[in-house]
Amino acid sequence: MTVLTARPATEAGPGSRALPAPSNEALTVDTERLVYRQTGAGLIGHFLGMVVVALVYWKVAPPWALRGWIVAFLLLWSTRFITLLAHDRAVMQGRDDPARWLERWNAGALAGAMLWSIGAMLLYDHGGWFQRTTLMLTIYSFAIGAVPYMASQPRLFLSCMGLYFVPMIVRTALHGGPDDVHLAGVWCLMALCTLVVGRGFHNVFGDMVSLRLHSEDLARRLKGEMALAEAAQRQAETANRAKTQFFAAASHDLRQPLHAMGLFAEALRQRCKDDDVAHLVNSINSSVDALEGLFSELLDITKIDTGAVEIEPEHFSMRDLFARIRLHFEPTAFEKGLMLSFRGEQHHAYADPVIIERVLRNLVSNAIRYTEDGGVLVSCRRRGGQLCLQVWDTGIGIAEKEQARIFDEFYQTQSGRPLEPHHRKGLGLGLAIVKRLTDLMHTPLTLRSRVGHGTVFTMMIPVGRAPRLQPASVPSRPSLGLTLDKRHVVVVEDEQAVLDGLQVLLKGWGATVSAFDSVDAVRAWAEHAPSAPDLVIVDYRLPEQQTGIDAIKTLRARFGKDLPVIMVTGSTMTGHEEEARQHHFHVLIKPVVPTKLRAMIAFKLGVRQG
C-alpha cells in the first residue's frame, strides 16, 4: 500500500507559515476515513452506471459478453458493499485497523477500474455512436469522480486512471473511423487534465492532513495550557483565600498585644507625671491607633481584590443605616468636639446595605480625621428618580490638582497647610476602597472640595421601598453622672494581658472593676451580685466556643436590658454591626487607644471626661 507524501515545508507560499509534513500513519488514517466516507455514494454511482450501460448495449452486444460482465460487476459490487458494512461495524466497535481496511478498499477500487476497462474492450465495437458516446461518458465520469479520494495515493491513482483511459484511447484509435484518431487525441487530453487535477488534489489533501495534525497539536497544547492555567487559577484562588484567612487570623492575634500595650502605656502615664513619659505614651497610642487603621484597610482591600465581596441589593431604611454609623462614630466625633449630623433618614434605598455602609464608614472616618472645627454631615435626598447620598465636612479640603489621584492606592493628600500627625495615619487605602466598592455597585462617585473650606462626596443610588420589618431603634441613655469615680465596670476578657491592662487603666480613671475571663465566671458572679454594674466591657471570642454575646445575655438577664455594653474585639470577619444593632451595644476594634476607649465610655455613660 502506498499513500502520498506531503509537499515539503519549503513549498509553502511566500509569507505563509510552513506546516510540518504529516507522518505516514496520519496519512493512512485520514485516507481511510476519506475513501470509506465516499464509498456509499460511489457504489450507488457505479451501480447506476452499470444499469445504463447494460440497457444501452442489451440488444447490440453479444449476450454472453454483456451478461458475463454484468455478473462479474454484481459480484464485485456486492463484495465492496459487504466490506463497507464490515468497516462501519468495526469502527463502531473500536476495532478499526486503518492500514488493513485501506488495503481492502484499494483492492476493490482497482478491481472496479479493471472491470470497467474490460467492459470497454468488450463492448466498444458493438452498436453505433450513441452506445459508444454513452460508454465513454460513463467511464469518464467514474474517472473524474475518483480523483478526490484516489489522488491521495499516487500509485493507485495512476493505475486506475490507466485502466479507465488507456483501453478507451486504444479502442478509439483502432476503431477505423475517419474521426477516431482525433477522438483518441481528445481522450489523451482528457486523461492529461485528469492527471493534473489529481496532482492538485494530491497537494490539497496533503495540506489538509498537515493542517488537521497542526490543529490537533495546537488543540492539545491549548488544552494542556488551559489545564495549567486553570490549575494556576485554582492555586491562586486558594492562595488568595488562604491569604485573606491568614491575614484575618494574624490580624486578630496581633491586635491583642497591641491593645494590651496601649492600655499599659496609658496606665504608665497615669502613674508617672513626667512630661517626657507622657509624650512617649502619646506616641505609643498614636502608633497603636495607626496600626489598627492599617490592619482594617489592608483586610478590606484584600477582600475586594480576591473577589470575596459580592453585591446583594435589597430594600433598606436609611434611618437604620445612619443609626449604625452614628453608633460607631459619635464617640470619635465627641472626643474631637465635632458635630456629627444626619439628614434624610426617612428615605429608603435599593442597594447592598453592607457595601453602602462600608463606603459611608470610610468617608465619615476620613471626614472626621481631616476636620478640626465644625462638623460632618451625612445627608440623603431625592434627586430625580434616585437618592443623592452625600458626606460633607468642614475640613482641610483637597486641592484641585490632587482630586484625580486621591482614589489611587497608597496616595495621601498634600494640603497647603501643615498636616497634624493623625492626618498622616494609614496607608492611603480608605478612598481606594471606597472607589472599588462603588465600582462594584456601578454607582458613580464624585467630589467637590475647596482647600480650607471642606469637601463633599456624592454618590447616586436607586430609590427603594420600606422593608416589611422595621428593627427597633437603639434607646438613648440618660446622664448618669459627671466622672468615672465610683463607677462599677465589669470586664470580660480571656486574654490575660488585655484583662490586666484594662483593670489598671479603668482603676486609674477611678472606676471599680470586676474582671472575668469566661461566661461561666460572669454567670457565677451575677447570681450573687448585690447591684447592677454601670458598664460592661466584653471581648467577642471567649473560651469554650462562647462569645461576648453570651456574656451580654447573661448579665442583662440578671440586671436588665438597658445595661450599657461596649464590645472590644480583634475579630474583623464577623458581622458585629448587625449584632450591635440587635443587642444594643457599641463595637471597638482592637487595638483601641485609651483616648478612644475613654471617649466611648464617656459616651455610653453620658459623663464628662476629667
Could you tell me the pLDDT band of residue 399, with boundaries at 50, 70 and 90?
confident
Q: Is the pLDDT of residue 377 over 90?
A: yes
Task: Show the cell assigned to 493.
Answer: 476578657
- Angstrom distances, CA of residue 172 to CA of 56, 59, 135, 158: 18, 22, 12, 20
pLDDT at 244 over 80: no
Lowest mean pLDDT among 212-226, 283-297, 447-461, 541-555: 283-297
pLDDT for 366 equals: 85
pLDDT digits (tens, 9 = 90+) for 159-203: 888 888 888 888 888 876 777 788 888 888 888 888 888 888 777
Q: Which residues pair with 102 in a beta bridge?
A: none
Mean pLDDT of 119-126: 85
Please give the Cα distance from 562 to 593 (Å, whole number).
26
CA distance 318 to 323: 8
**Banded model confidence at residue 422, pLDDT cuts 50, 70, 90:** very low
Instruction: Tell whether the model's pLDDT for residue 23 goes beyond 90.
Output: no
In this predicted structure, what is the pLDDT of residue 343? 92
- pLDDT above 70: percentage of residues in the chain: 76
Helix, strand or coil, per DSSP, at residue 272: coil
pLDDT level of residue 19 (50, 70, 90 thresholds):
low
Instruction: Please compute the mean of the pLDDT values over residues 231-251 and round it to a whole number.
Output: 72
Task: Give pLDDT, residue 355.
Answer: 85
Give the model's pLDDT for residue 126.
Answer: 85
H or E element: which one contains 340?
A: strand 339-343
Contacts 24+ apart (CB under 8 A), 427-433: 427/294, 427/297, 427/298, 429/297, 429/298, 429/300, 429/301, 430/297, 430/362, 430/365, 430/366, 431/362, 431/366, 431/406, 431/407, 432/301, 432/407, 432/408, 433/297, 433/300, 433/301, 433/304, 433/358, 433/362
On the CB side of 135, how many CA atoms lie within 13 Å of its CA?
30
Q: Is the pLDDT of residue 479 over 50?
A: no
What b/e sequence results for 341-378 when a residue is b if at least 16 CB atoms lie within 10 Å of its CB, and e otherwise? ebebbebbbbbbbbbbbbbbbbbbbbbbbbbeeebbbb
At residue 478, φ and ψ (nearest 5 deg) are -75, 165
Contact at 8 Å (CB) between 27 and 2? no
pLDDT in tens, 47-104: 998 999 999 989 888 999 899 999 999 999 999 899 889 888 888 887 778 888 888 8
Decide which of 299 and 340 is more confident: 340
- pLDDT tier, 610 (very low <50, low <70, confident <90, very high otherwise): very low
Query: What is the reported pLDDT for 456?
Result: 92
| Least confident piece of the model among 19-33, 163-177, 338-352, 420-434 | 420-434
C-alpha cell at 339: 458635630
Helices 24-57 and 129-145, axial angle in degrees (round to 10)? 170
Q: Of the given ranges (34-38, 107-111, 220-224, 316-320), which has the lowest mean pLDDT?
A: 34-38
Q: Can you give the pLDDT at residue 307?
A: 63
Residue-level pLDDT at 273: 66
Of 310, 341, 307, give the one whose Cα is nearest residue 233: 307
Q: Which residues are CB-neighbours of 309 under 8 A, at least 6 positions away?
A: 303, 355, 437, 440
- pTM score, two decimals? 0.44
Cell triple for residue 464? Answer: 427603594
Q: Is the CB of residue 400 less than 8 Å from the CB of residue 416?
A: no
pLDDT-derived band at 310 (thresholds 50, 70, 90) equals confident
C-beta separation of 59 from 105 below 8 A: no
Would you say residue 607 has pLDDT above 60? no
DSSP secondary structure letter of residue 402? G
Q: Write a three-state SS string for 520-544.
A: HHHHHHHHHCCCCCCEEEECCEECC
Q: Is the pLDDT of residue 255 over 70?
A: no
**64-76: per-residue pLDDT in tens?**
989 999 999 999 9
Q: What is the average pLDDT across 438-465?
A: 87
* Comparison of pLDDT for 430 and 444, the residue scoring more: 444
Strands 386-393 and 375-383: antiparallel
Percent of the chain past pLDDT 90, that is, above it, reads 10
If you ran DSSP here, which 8-state letter would residue 14 be given? T
pLDDT of residue 329: 83
- Rounding to the nearest 10 degrees, give the CA dihedral for residues 498, 500, 502, 508: -150
Averaged pLDDT, 214-221: 80
Question: Could you check whether the bond before residue 591 is cis, i.e. omega within 30 degrees of 0?
Answer: yes
Q: How confident is the model at residue 508 (pLDDT cuts 50, 70, 90)?
A: confident
Where is 381: in which H helix or E strand? Answer: strand 375-383
3-class secondary structure, 148: helix
Residue 303: the pLDDT is 65
Q: Which of 348, 599, 588, 587 is nearest to 474 (CA)?
A: 587
Q: What is each CA distance from 367 to 338, 353, 423, 442, 452, in whole angstroms?
A: 11, 21, 10, 23, 13
pLDDT band at 11 (very low <50, low <70, confident <90, very high): very low
* C-alpha span between 589 and 282 (Å, rounded): 19
Q: What per-residue confidence (pLDDT) applies to 202?
A: 73
Residue 586: pLDDT band by 50, 70, 90 thresholds? confident
pLDDT given for residue 70 in this prediction: 92
Q: What pLDDT score does 472 carry?
A: 44
Lowest mean pLDDT among 8-12, 272-276, 434-438: 8-12
| Mean of pLDDT over the chain | 78
**Which has the minimum average pLDDT: 389-398, 406-415, 578-587?**
406-415
Packing angle of the helix pair 548-559, 519-528 (nearest 10 deg): 10
Q: Is the pLDDT of residue 418 over 50?
A: no
Cβ-Cβ contacts under 8 Å for 64 (sequence gap 6 or more): none
Cell numbers that stand for 233 in this block: 487559577
How confident is the model at residue 473, as a pLDDT? Answer: 43
Using alpha carbons only, how large is the chain's radius of gyration in Å?
Answer: 46
Range scoring the smallest mean pLDDT among 65-74, 281-290, 445-454, 583-592: 281-290
What's the 3-state SS for 403-429?
Answer: CCCCCCCCCCCCCCCCCCHHHHCCCCC
Question: What is residue 601's predicted lDDT score, i.e. its pLDDT?
Answer: 84
